[in-house]
Structure 1
Amino acid sequence: MLTRRASLRAGIAALALTAAPFTPAAFAQDGAPIKIGEINSYTRMAAFTEPYRKGWELALEQINEAGGVKGRPLEVLSRDDTGDPATAIRIADELVNRDHVTLIFGTFLSNIGLAVSDFANQSQTLFIASEPLTDAIIWSKGNRYTYRLRPGTSMQASMLAEQAAKTDAVKWVTIAPNYAYGTDAVEAFKRELTKLKPEVEFVEEQWPALFKIDAGSTVRALEQAKPDGIFNVTFGGDLAKFVREGSLRGLFDDRVVVSLLSGEPEYLEPLGSEAPEGWIVTGYPGFDIDTPEHKAFADAYQAKWGEEPKTGSIVGYNSMMTIKTLLSEAPTLETEALLDTMEGLRVESPTGEFLYRPVDNQATMGAYVGKTGLVDGKPRMVDWHYAPGEDYLPSEADALTLRPDRQ
């Protein structure tokens, strides 16, 4: 792959010397903005996407104030997909074929991420999927035009399974929304926990429709299974209803609860005084992270927006830093040059350096693992540690077997 990159750059350099009139206009338009397309569910998933927008807007401002990329400012054309895959595809088509953006980034819900990924493949446009967590986007339905930033469901479920295996829980139940994100998460957690602790058994599964949970019947079904441990994948309004009903019925008493994403401020803070304590979660501890890189980011974020950063803030910021690094290193804005540069691209970020694996287009950005707790009467993530993404990805050889397009 390094050889191919070197070959491409050498070829471009030779072309520039021998056929200047045909050099791509990529960096030739002095001062002209580089247009970037962005799509997300701003009205449908505002709790996460608004901090996400603030994150990438902060990074965009910093990049342009520092001179942009190769003397050109970045311009983001941002659109709201309203949580509808068909709308997302229509917007993507407009951004590419009408507005002529260089690449697309964003999306939140897994079904929308998969739809835009398929569009990117068909239109041969680079798509950096910021948030969709389904594993299909990089493995079973992966394509060469789609890269994913956040650690996906398998990665985060593996982080949680590692902690769950240290508990005494043997009988487990699961609850997850009935779409790609939820099904992937449950499958991964069951697989990884069974590897680490073969004696575990899963005795009940609940699959509520997204944002349509019947919390009463769901909690009763889980309680009747008499589990030792509960694996939860609900979020947003569904999580709040599940926590309230489960607490009223004593579902969580003296049981291990492992919960994907529930340590994220977007979902934890709205629970207020009802927030559970002691759940094992993935999330984001905000200002408690004291590395120089993160402190600089958090201080700048608070100065600009007057609030602490959230998980979405980091995702948005790291998305834009990926784009800045990519455009700085790419020899032109031609899609093939961008794809070549994305292979193994290393990005400096508030959460530390990460890279995009050439084998499956997944970033090695990690996640924070800890427990839910109350600090000064407010729900916070406590007893946390950072889990590097590369430690929870399959080997390159195994990843290849998960990519039908590369077999």
Structure 2
Amino acid sequence: MSMISRRRFLQLSAMTSGSLAFGNLADYVPGLTGGTNRVYAAEPIKVGIIDPLSSPYKTSSIHDVHGATVALEMYNKRGGVLGRPVSIIEADDASNVQTAIKVAEKLIKEDRVDFLMGTFNGDVALAVADVAKQQNKLFMATCPHIMDLTGARCNSHTFVFMPNARMMAQAVAPYIVKAYGNRCHMITADTVDGKAALQAMMDALKALNGEVVGAAVTPFGSTDFVAVFTEAKNAKPGVIILNLYGWDLVNALKAYAKLELAKEKIGVGGMIGGEQIGRPLGYANNAGIWGLIWDPKINTESSKRFIQGVIDKYNHTPTSRCYLGYAAMTQILQCAAPARPRPER
């Protein structure tokens, strides 16, 4: 693959964002033209997608892969990128830093991928970002929200599609306070992600005169939250804020429903939820106020194409995590298409 500068990538990805929201993708993307199946002579462009497919984030991770695959197939049906097909290679990081480093190095050195994308856990994303820079590969982090990726640990090879924790917390906190009042109890996963969400929510609530009346930290992968919710109830909050995600969040909301805390006038909410939580939880138990990355009610032609693409491929309607994978893959391939070799110095 030819080289592309960080500035050029950002310029092109901004163009892609507009086309995803408002227009026909084929009209905007160089190398993506009309037509159906093509015959390819060149080697494929390979994208390695790293996600925790066997961790408490596994359901959302699968949706990240689904969205990315739908975007990739849309490109291939129209001739690929620069006449080359695009392929995806999946790897499971199991929400473990050392595993992530190993699979990232394998994807680069053995599978010879051109790009990396994916990850959920913040510490995993930071580790993959370091590998990508060392190996001179672009890494599109689709799902982590920790601030360090675009702050203290930002590097020239890593791009982040997911809104960060501060953005999400500032968006959702006013609605939580308006609905439930300013007395809050925090339940936080003992992870880099949980701590980032906690700090962001604390900062957002402070600006709204929020009062934290209690807090608990839970191990990543917890399945029983009854005891921590009982403790939270005794603190008499107006709302319990869950700095959790994946199956931790599903299991926590099951405990909230089991204890019937809504009848006690105790609300629930947090930085991020979505369809990927509501489905395994059961919609009757999907209570609270949550941030949402993508709304399926956005009624544009490109949104309709994305939704139908996921339905046709996987027989389910897309979640916001599908959207993240889809949009991130689209931006990678958009920017691969017009890249040209840099002159030697």
Q: Give your verdict on TM over 0.5.
A: yes
The equivalent position to 2:88 in structure 1, one of 76, 86, 105, is 76
Q: Compute the displacement of 1:308 (Å).
A: 0.8
1:32 has 2:36 as partner:
no
Contact 2:42 2:84 in 1 (8 A): yes
- DSSP-derived class of the 1:32 partner: coil
Alpha-carbon displacement from aligned partner over 1:175-200 (angstroms, at most 9, x marks no partner): 120111111111111112222x23x2
Which residue of the partner structure matches residue 73 of structure 2?
61
Q: Matches of residues 158-307 of structure 1 in structure 2 within 5 Å?
A: 158-167=170-179, 169-195=181-207, 197-198=208-209, 200-212=210-222, 214-252=224-262, 253-262=264-273, 264-272=274-282, 274-277=284-287, 279-283=288-292, 287-307=296-316
- Number of equivalences: 306
Q: Matches of residues 328-407 of structure 1 in structure 2 within 5 Å?
A: 328-332=337-341
Give me the whole-angstrom Cα distance separating, in 1, the residues matched to 2:45 and 2:293. 32
Contact 1:164 1:193 in 2 (8 A): no
Contact 1:133 1:151 in 2 (8 A): yes
The equivalent position to 1:145 in structure 2, one of 157, 163, 186, is 157
Structure 1 284/102 Cα, relative in aligned 2: closer, same or farther at 3 Å?
closer
- DSSP-derived class of the 1:101 partner: coil
Contact 2:278 2:286 in 1 (8 A): no
Task: Please give the TM-score of this superposition, normalised by the length of structure 2.
Answer: 0.81
Alpha-carbon displacement from aligned partner over 1:127-159 (angstroms, at most 9, x marks no partner): 111111222222122212111111122211111
Q: Compute the displacement of 1:245 (Å).
A: 2.6
Cα root mean square deviation, aligned:
2.5
Contact 1:266 1:311 in 2 (8 A): yes
Which aligned runs of 4 or more in structure 1 are off by greater than 6 angstroms? none
1:101 has 2:113 as partner:
yes
Alpha-carbon displacement from aligned partner over 1:175-231 (angstroms, at most 9, x marks no partner): 120111111111111112222x23x21121111011125513211221121112221
1:42 has 2:53 as partner:
yes
The one-letter code of the counterpart of 2:270 is S
- DSSP-derived class of the 2:50 partner: strand
Give me the whole-angstrom Cα distance separating, in 2, the residues matched to 1:309 and 1:274. 20
User: Percent identity over the alignment?
Assistant: 26
Give me the whole-angstrom Cα distance separating, in 2, the residues matched to 1:172 and 1:42. 33
Q: Compute the displacement of 1:169 (Å).
A: 0.8
Q: Compute the displacement of 1:117 (Å).
A: 1.3
The equivalent position to 2:124 in structure 1, one of 107, 112, 120, is 112
- DSSP-derived class of the 2:140 partner: strand
Give me the whole-angstrom Cα distance separating, in 1, the residues matched to 2:117 and 2:258. 41
Q: Compute the displacement of 1:305 (Å).
A: 1.9
- DSSP-derived class of the 2:272 partner: strand
Q: Compute the displacement of 1:318 (Å).
A: 0.9
Contact 1:287 1:308 in 2 (8 A): no
Structure 1 284/265 Cα, relative in aligned 2: closer, same or farther at 3 Å?
farther
Give me the whole-angstrom Cα distance separating, in 2, the residues matched to 1:284 and 1:275. 21
Task: Please give the TM-score of this superposition, normalised by the length of structure 1.
Answer: 0.69
Contact 2:270 2:289 in 1 (8 A): yes
Alpha-carbon displacement from aligned partner over 1:265-286 (angstroms, at most 9, x marks no partner): 1111222265144x11123676
Q: Compute the displacement of 1:165 (Å).
A: 4.0
- Greater relative contact order (Cα 8 A, min sep 6): structure 1 or 2? 2
Structure 1 stretch displaced more, 308-317 or 280-289: 280-289
Give me the whole-angstrom Cα distance separating, in 2, the residues matched to 1:221 and 1:304. 44
Give me the whole-angstrom Cα distance separating, in 2, the residues matched to 1:250 and 1:300. 39
Give me the whole-angstrom Cα distance separating, in 2, the residues matched to 1:273 and 1:305. 21
Q: Which stretches in structure 2 are left out of the alignment for 5+ residues?
A: 9-39
The one-letter code of the counterpart of 1:328 is A
The one-letter code of the counterpart of 1:41 is P
Q: Compute the displacement of 1:63 (Å).
A: 0.3
Q: Which stretches in structure 1 are left out of the alignment for 5+ residues?
A: 6-28, 338-407
The one-letter code of the counterpart of 1:313 is C
Which residue of the partner structure matches residue 366 of structure 1?
none
Contact 1:286 1:308 in 2 (8 A): no
Structure 1 82/258 Cα, relative in aligned 2: closer, same or farther at 3 Å?
closer
The one-letter code of the counterpart of 2:332 is I
The one-letter code of the counterpart of 2:329 is M
Which residue of the partner structure matches residue 317 of structure 1?
326
Give me the whole-angstrom Cα distance separating, in 2, the residues matched to 1:216 and 1:304. 38
The one-letter code of the counterpart of 1:256 is G
Contact 1:208 1:214 in 2 (8 A): no
- DSSP-derived class of the 1:207 partner: strand
Structure 1 245/39 Cα, relative in aligned 2: closer, same or farther at 3 Å?
closer
- DSSP-derived class of the 1:329 partner: coil
- DSSP-derived class of the 2:189 partner: coil
Structure 1 stretch displaced more, 77-86 or 184-193: 77-86
Contact 2:64 2:118 in 1 (8 A): no
Which residue of the partner structure matches residue 326 of structure 1?
335
